[in-house]
Amino acid sequence: MKSITINGSQRESVGKKATKALRNAGQVPCVLYGGDKPVHFSAPELAFSKLVYTPNAHTVVINLDNGETLNAVLQDIQFHPVTDRILHIDFYQLFEDKEIALNIPVQLVGNSRGVKNGGVLRRNNRKLRIKALPVNLPDFIEIDISPLKIGDKVAVGDLPSEKYTFLHTDNTVVCQVRTSRVAIEDEDDDEEELEEGVEAPAAEGAEAPEAQE
């Protein structure tokens, strides 16, 4: 998974006055959990733009002014209810030998047969929550929708998960192709049915085989 680097300064004071002063100076107060003790730091608001305003998932490398470097993931973020400015961010520290739960975006590739025939593609879950070691966290979960016909769906149980565990039930629907008023019958489906043993009607004028005596 791709990482974003944040250069921060440790906070000595965590009171309301100090926090307000940081925000007035364009800084975002942050807390890193998951280690031996919480780490309080701040960083410029602009430093978080690539981390916050994106549908992609990233890990974070936090470089503190005391020379310490910590790996983390974004856990929670608070916005101002009127201005939408970032008020506070919580991070969770990563360790190589500890699994972490994270929401990973779903990326659909290919052109669905059902959509070509007038069906409608519905995305039920744009992100899926997984649990994995940091080294096994994917940038996204890719699903090829090319084979999907009208009425077909992809559930969590249909997806490979060798390096991570899905924190959803197997029947959780990720995407599906639903019918619509303009949908047409898939001719390939009729051909498949004939190949599977459905006999075609005899041509007009054809004679039936004679019965054996």
Give the Cα separation of 164 and 133 in Å (integer). 8
pLDDT in tens, 110-130: 999 999 999 999 999 999 999
| Among 96-100, 107-111, 179-183, 207-211, the least confident range | 207-211
Distance CA 59, CA 139 (A): 10
Render pLDDT for 14-40 as a digit per residue (tens, 0 to 9): 888 889 999 999 999 999 999 999 999
Q: What is the DSSP letter of 110?
A: S
d(CA 91, CA 3): 14
Residue type, 159: L
Instruction: Go through the domains of the chain in sequence order and give each one's CATH number.
Output: 3-93 (2.40.240.10), 100-191 (2.170.120.20)
Element (H, E) at 108: strand 100-109
The percent of residues in the chain predicted with pLDDT above 90, rounded, is: 69
**Rg for the chain (alpha carbons), in Å?**
27
